[in-house]
Structure 1
């Protein structure tokens, strides 16, 4: 087995934006239904996420894009951790932990003092990862954006 050469960088190309869309459509459609707000974000992540001051982190193993996460600016210092996924074939290698740690560090660089997210109890591994990374469960009223219809877990973290 060849050693992996993992890199995590900000999305800068149309090919990376396409990979972000494809990776997210895979997991969302597997577990849920793709919502209109998903389409808006996934069809043009530069306009929806990057241009308003957020970022999308792309994980590569060598040249292959195997994961991603978005930091969506909600206000000057509040960001949503969103659209985090790793290819099914790459799961179980600790990539989610590396990705969330990179996202937290990047959020701080962008000036965030608070991160929040909406998830679902069907995604138990993801919810556990968020808990161990330091996110706290909150009521839906305690997060800034209207949640996705699929969201039944709401979490927040002070940075």
Structure 2
């Protein structure tokens, strides 16, 4: 991974949508079970995320897609940080932090004043990354999360 060749762009092609699905299915199936709500989002991210006013960011190293993250519109100014994934070969090199920063910037551009997420205690590195990025722990009742059985950590960030 060469930082000078990294680009972050909005998902626009079927190839990028397929990479978004593949990257997310890899980590979800490794740690959890792919749920029906995952399938709906991953099988058609344009309909599930982009058309309702969100975005999927794709990270490339040169021409190779190595990561992604979604900002999903929940209401006019509330968005969910969702479906962040990085190719296993480049984990631990700061790409997750770069993805979160890009997602925060994009959520602001889309009009977000609040960003929220659901994660899991089975993903301590991810939870720590969210904490260091400025997300605050909240109770599940404080976020409008979709029903993922795996989510047991809930966080928000004022933008």
* TM-score of Structure 1 vs Structure 2, range by shorter chain: over 0.9
Counterpart position of 1:113:
113
Aligned residue for 2:27, secondary structure, equals helix
CA RMSD of aligned residues (A): 1.2
Counterpart position of 1:27:
27
Structure 1 residues 157 and 13 mapped into 2: Cα distance closer, same or farther (>3 Å)? same
Structure 1 residues 77 and 3 mapped into 2: Cα distance closer, same or farther (>3 Å)? closer
User: How many corresponding residue pairs?
Assistant: 159
Give structure 1 regions of 4+ aligned residues with deviation exceeding 4 angstroms. 1-4
Contact 2:67 / 2:84 at 8 angstroms: preserved in 1?
Answer: yes
Counterpart position of 1:122:
122
What is the Cα deviation at residue 144 of structure 1? 1.1
What is the Cα deviation at residue 145 of structure 1? 2.5
TM-score with structure 1 setting the length: 0.97
TM-score with structure 2 setting the length: 0.97
Give the Cα separation in 2 of the matches to 1:93 and 1:33.
26
Give the Cα separation in 2 of the matches to 1:13 and 1:87.
19
Counterpart position of 1:60:
60
Structure 1 residues 30 and 49 mapped into 2: Cα distance closer, same or farther (>3 Å)? same
Which range moved further: 2-11 or 123-132?
Answer: 2-11
Aligned residue for 1:33, secondary structure, equals coil
Q: How does 1:3-152 map to 2 (within 5 A)?
A: 5-152=5-152
